[in-house]
Amino acid sequence: MRFLYCGDVLGKSGRDALSTHLPTLRQELGLDFVVACGENAAHGFGITAAICDSMFDIGVDVITIGNHAWDQREIITYISTEPRLLRPLNYPSETPGQGMGFYQTQQGKRIIVIQVMCRLFMDALDDPFRALDDCLRRYPLREAADAIIVDVHGEASSEKAALAHMADGRVSLVVGSHSHVPTADSRIMPGGTGFQTDAGMCGPYDSVIGMKKGPATSRFITKMPTERLEPAEGEGTLCGVFVETNDQTGLTERISPVRVGGILRAARPV
């Protein structure tokens, strides 16, 4: 099975990069399934129902969110009725929406998608390690699904790596989101799980992690509040991770970074 995980979609530039490049990538790579993190899609802060629908229309199968989950209040109602939109699994159980979902490809392959949110330098949520471990015990790879994708939303690379090692051999892919910078460590772990610390973002890299340079830089220089941060403009890069799994084991046989468009050096699977 072949699938693509697209990093944090930021503002209009990120949405344009996704809509421009994803249909072509889906065809060229023979993708069976696409997951994208959409937590910054609405002008950098959260996501709306209309943006979700537009992402589904261009070929995204599942959207994850994260610490900006509720920035757009309308999504609270929408997520309760849209199973293709996931918030972190380790939110309190009373939180609207769900942190994992069961899906099928057009060929009938079963896929589980899970998102957990880290706690280092992030909100104090429930333990992501316990939440993920409990979920994988209930729904083991191959028995419950032909592939399992885990989106780890967090700041600290150490916490993301630790979660990946805990899940190694139990899922197809662990991929990080949130930092907006694509890491160069895509690899297959000893147990067969594909891993990349962060997929990067779908957005403009002539920026401060997607935001206009002036106001963002002034905050660091002056240590004073500035005008509201706004998404940068210009051509965005679609950053993601491509994975091909073994149909018998559900584990990763090939993993490759994907970078298309914008100012970053291009990368795509050979």
Query: 10: burial class by Cβ within 10 Å (0-12, 13-18, 19+)?
Result: buried
Please enumerate in sequence order all residues whose Cβ is within 8 A of that of 148, keeping only pairs 6 or more positions apart, or say none: 111, 112, 113, 114, 136, 139, 141, 170, 171, 172, 173, 250
Q: How many angstroms separate the most distant Cα atoms in the chain?
A: 56
The gap from C-alpha 5 to its chain's centroid, in whole angstroms, comes to 6
**Taking a C-beta distance cutoff of 8 angstroms, is the pair 269, 242 a contact?**
yes
Instruction: Look up residue 27 and give its DSSP letter.
Output: H
For helices 157-167 and 128-138, what crossing angle results, to 10°? 20
Residue 49's SS3 state is helix
Whole-number Å distance between alpha carbons of 90 and 132: 8
Query: For this structure, is 153 an active site residue?
Result: no
**Taking a C-beta distance cutoff of 8 angstroms, is the pair 171, 132 a contact?**
no
Listed residue (158, 79, 144, 60) closest to 109, CA to CA: 144
Choosing from 68, 153, 178, 180, which is the catalytic residue? 68
Tally of residues, the chain: 270
> What b/e string do you get for 99-127 counting C-beta neighbours within 10 Å, with b at 16 or more?
bbbebebeeebbbbbbbbbbbeebeebbe
Catalytic residue list: 68
